[in-house]
Structure 1
Amino acid sequence: MKVLLDLQYLNVATTGIKTYMMELANATKAFPHPEIEWIFTHDPEKQAADTTFKNPSSKFQRLNYHLDYFRWKEFQLPDLVKKHQPDVLICPDFVSPAASLPCRRMTVLHDAFFWQMPQNYPRWWRKYFLNLIRKGLKEKTEIITTTQYSKTALHKHLGNELPIHVVYQSPKIINSVADEMILDRLKLRDTPYFFHLGTFDKRKNLPLLVHAFKTFLEKENQDFKLVLAGGPGQSIQMNDFPVVEKLVSELGLKEKVVLPGYISDAEIVSLYQEAFCYVFPSENEGFGIPILEAMKFGVPVIHSDQAALKEIANGAGLSSKSGDASDLAEKMILLSRDKALRETLIKQGLKQSDNFSPKKFLEAFQYLILDAAPAL
């Protein structure tokens, strides 16, 4: 059985989809199957390191990228299918070629955000991208998604014509040695802090977290800090970084809220290891990788009661009401006061994180590839 894995999108992927693609590619090499031959369209490390289209600074550069992407999906990838003659083509970035292909397709739709949250995307871009997605959902296509929550949402917007399978992915495996210099650089040494890692997309609700942290400080009078690591949102419509910066200033929290921007894997390890708690107040997620990353590092998690996050945490995190800053603050206060609860969450989180591994991630794909199973 020959499987062609499309890795072209790694040249611009930065967050969850990048993790998905890299962990899947790495798992195929770490856990080979005697009945499956994996073929990569690109070397994953080299493609991820390609900076040609990363962080475009002009409309011309963005247009060039979209033309390159269209050319890849509609011409070059179908040519590779003809060349390698795979039994299965896996496209882990929402889009499969519109052209007719002789093989099965597995197209990964990580979430239903394009349908659920249209206000977060440029109108013309969203219309164009949704058109690409729909044109590729044809023939022998099976949709892969990340949670039961996402499956339900996709059924609502796409109907029931195509089978949808849930495959739980693996969080990023970070093997870097901790770079503790970041603790000194950010003045976090011997200071407890709440931690969040990810882009400043509006759906992450980071302004709400800042408000909750302000309330926490007022009620607890403890020497805590809040670390919000990561880059700006992925578009002007989605970017909440300026909002957070302004809010931090208005609330007088410049000495308490740390905004380090992008950080290295070694710095991520250090910040996870020393965090008092990981806080994830997002209003909408397809999966929730940081929850599992934090749990694997033995960090207790507070997350919103958004359906996908509850599904992934499975009771091993402390849930707060979505969009409710007061409730989030109360959960932060509770965790700071109740040492027994914190220890319980750490133990439960470590156990829950064991349910998500590269091997299990790959085995779910192998099952679908070899058995052509009906939708789960």
Structure 2
Amino acid sequence: MKVAMIGHKQIPSRVGGVEVVVENLSEQLVKKGIEVDAYNRKSKYQKKYKQYKGIRIYEVFTVQKKRLDAIVATFFATLKALRRNYDVYHYHAEGPCLMLWLPHLFHKRVVVTIHGLDWQRAKWGKLASKMLLTGEKFAVKYADEIIVLSQNIKKYFQDTYGRETIFIPNGVSKATYRKANLIKQNYGLTKNGYLLFLARIVPEKGLHYLIEAYKRMDTEIPLVIAGDWQYSVEYGKKIQQMCEKIPNIIMTGFVQGELLYELFSNALLYILPSEVEGMAISLLEAMSYGKCCLVSDIPENMEIARGYVETFRSGDANDLREKLEKILQEPDKRELLGKKAQEYVLAQYNWEQITDATIKVYEDK
């Protein structure tokens, strides 16, 4: 079987959850004997690969503009992929679905993974949101199968379009533990000595609520904010300005590799205040490291949580502050929640099982 992966930015990369999913899923598919080609968007910032862990990599032209990047890259990726006659064309995210009509026109098998309801995300303007919603409707019309990452989004597609979808969650790998070496050298951080937010810095992640809550706390425990704002520059500048006025906030920028492993390994608590999610990869990863997590109570987070994390009311900085102060006073509870969370995610969100379920979708006709 030959599969084309289309719609992500680049792999290997951690620029977003889509990229983490495409990389891990493709790697597992290759291990099971499936040929996988991934169509990366051309970028001067990304190392060029022809092959990565058995995945063939093809670069496609795009434009470096937020509102055009995905659609231009997907158009050229689709044209390139159609010349190679794949068994499955697997598209990721709603924007790239605007091109589904092309493989559908040639009677190709099209599978789509909806990583979230992208048109709801605050970083997009009215026109971009409308185009993303159109992409969603094209998925409903042209995809042979639609994979969703949460039961909440599955219900949304059924209620809105009467369209059946297949629930297959994201996966997570076993934690890669590291001692606090780089983070101590670079930021003065020690084991269990900081709070961690690790995600893209975009409005829907709700980081401004966390900063407001932290500002109102009487604590000397540093708050580490790890992530970049390449696709939401105005919001990133706003966050920077907020942080400049508050002691003990450390902004690391984008992290990956050893620095990422160290930040997860040594955090006291992981916090995710998002207002919109598909299925948060960073939350799964924090749980896999055995970390106590405090997350907003949106349905997509609650679906992962299942009583293994602490929650607060989404969009409520006061409730976040109260829950933060409370959990910081309960070390035994933090340890117990972290241990249970780790056991749960490694059992329920196993990449091998998720890959097998995806292959079944590819094969079912």
Q: So what's the TM-score if we normalise by structure 2?
A: 0.83
Q: Do the aligned partners of residues 334 and 340 (structure 1) sit closer, same or farther apart at CA in structure 2, a change above 3 Å counting?
A: same
Q: 1:80 corresponds to which residue?
A: 84
- Tell whether the 8 Å contact from 1:320 to 1:328 is kept in structure 2 after alignment: yes
1:248 aligns with 2:243: yes
- Residue of structure 1 aligned with 2:222, choices 190, 213, 225: 225
Partner AA of 2:74 in structure 1: Y
Question: Which position in structure 1 is the counterpart of 2:8?
Answer: 9
1:309 aligned residue: 301
Pairwise CA RMSD: 3.0
Between the aligned partners of 1:179 and 1:49, the Cα distance in structure 2 is 37
- Decide whether the 8 Å contact of 1:179 with 1:266 is kept in 2: no
The residue identity in structure 2 corresponding to 1:323 is G
Contact 2:174 2:288 in 1 (8 A): no
Query: What residue number does 1:213 align with?
Result: 214
Q: Does the Cα contact within 8 Å between 1:108 and 1:144 map onto a contact in 2?
A: yes
- Is 1:278 paired with 2:270? yes
Asked if 2 retains the 8 angstrom alpha-carbon contact of 1:199 and 1:231, the reply is yes
Measure, in 2, the Cα distance between the counterparts of 1:64 and 1:121: 13
Deviation at residue 304 of structure 1 after TM alignment: 0.7
Amino-acid identity (%):
19
Query: In the alignment, which residue of structure 2 is the partner of 1:113?
Result: 118
For residues 56 and 199 of structure 2, the distance between their equivalents in structure 1, rounded to whole angstroms, comes to 22
User: Quick check: 2:195–2:221 contact (8 Å CA) kept in 1?
Assistant: yes
2:285 matches 1:293 = yes
Counterpart in 1 of 2:311? 319
Specify the code of the residue in structure 1 equivalent to 2:287.
M
User: 1:351-362 residue pairs with structure 2 within 5 A?
Assistant: 351-354=343-346, 355-362=348-355
SS of the residue corresponding to residue 11 of structure 1 reads coil
- TM-aligned CA distance change 1:327 to 1:41, over 3 Å: closer
The structure-2 alpha-carbon separation of the partners of 1:223 and 1:68, relative to structure 1 and needing over 3 Å to count, comes to: closer
Structure 1 regions of 5+ residues with no counterpart? none
The reply on whether 1:71 has 2:64 as its aligned counterpart is: no
Indicate how the Cα distance of structure 1 residues 211 and 51 shifts in structure 2: closer, same or farther if over 3 A, else same.
farther
**Aligned-partner SS, 2:106:** coil
Structure 2 unaligned blocks of 5 or more: 40-49
Q: Tell me by how many angstroms 1:149 deviates.
A: 1.4
Sort the Cα spacing of 1:344 and 1:164 in 2 relative to 1 into closer, same or farther, 3 A. Answer: same
Deviation at 1:204, TM superposition (A): 1.1
Matches of 2:72 and 2:208 in 1, distance apart?
35
1:20-68 alpha-carbon deviations (Å, 9 max, x no partner): 10011011123x16xxx434255663888969769x3xx5x97587534
Question: Aligned equivalents of 2:186 and 2:58: distance in 1?
Answer: 27
AA of the residue aligned to 1:22: E
Greater Rg over alpha carbons, structure: 1
Q: 2:108 is matched with which residue: 103, 108, 112? A: 103
Amino acid in the other structure paired with 2:224: V
Residues 30, 36 of structure 2: 8 Å contact kept: no
Which amino acid in 2 is paired with 1:106?
V
Do the aligned partners of 1:10 and 1:44 also contact (CA within 8 Å) in 2? no
Structure 2 residue 138 is matched with structure 1 residue 150: no
Name the CA distance, whole Å, in 2 between partners of 1:172 and 1:18.
15
Is 1:363 the equivalent of 2:363?
Answer: no
- Contact preservation (8 Å) 1:178, 1:266: no
CA deviation map 1:209-241 (0-9, x unaligned): 011112222xxxx430100111016235xx522
Q: Does 1:90 align with 2:94?
A: no
Which position in structure 1 is the counterpart of 2:195?
A: 194
Secondary structure of the structure 2 residue equivalent to 1:216? coil
Q: Count matched residues.
A: 345
**Partner amino acid for 2:351?**
P
Cα displacement string for residues 115-153 of structure 1 (whole angstroms, at most 9, x for unaligned residues): x34x53133333344444534544562111111112223
Distance 2:271 2:349 in 1: 20
- Given that 2:201 and 2:232 are in contact with CA atoms closer than 8 Å, whether structure 1 keeps it comes out as no
Give the SS at the match of 1:6. Answer: strand
The alignment partner of 2:232 has SS state of coil
Q: Which moved more, 1:119-128 or 1:299-308?
A: 119-128
Q: 1:6 to 1:256 in 2, by over 3 A?
A: same
Q: CA deviation at 1:89?
A: 2.7
Letter in 2 for 1:77: A
